[in-house]
Amino acid sequence: MPDIVIMIVQAAVATVLFFVMMFGIGFILNMLLKTTWFPMILFAIVLIGLLIWSPWDAESNPSLDNIGTYTAIYYLPIIGAMIGAYVSGWAINALRKGGYKMF
């Protein structure tokens, strides 16, 4: 029973950490490149590449079958990071509409 609790806490911490990390990276990229949704597109491209071409076992060939090797616990931080990338674009968009020219 305590192992499950530890895994849940680790998943929650990882999800929040990835959310904050992608929000920060996305916010900085949006400020520097003057784009709004570039981090979201970049994250999706990198994520698709990692899911397809990084299998867990070395004998597997890179293919879409590798996505099935991940369990739900691996998808939680990925979803948190995707939400962080989206929120960074939304925040930059809201700041620009609010009249802040530096963003």
Domain borders along the chain are 22-54+72-102
18-22, 43-47, 55-59: range with lowest mean pLDDT = 55-59
Q: What HEC string does 10-54 produce?
A: HHHHHHHHHHHHHHHHHHHHHHHHCCCCHHHHHHHHHHHHHHHHC
pLDDT tens, 70-81? 778 888 998 999
- Rounded Cα–Cα distance for residues 71 and 31 (Å): 35
Q: What is the dihedral of CA 88, 94, 100, 102, to 10 degrees?
A: 20
- Rounded Cα–Cα distance for residues 47 and 49 (Å): 5
Whether 14 shows a pLDDT value over 90: the answer reads yes
Look up residue 19 and give its two tokens: 């959310």
Whether 30 shows a pLDDT value over 90: the answer reads no
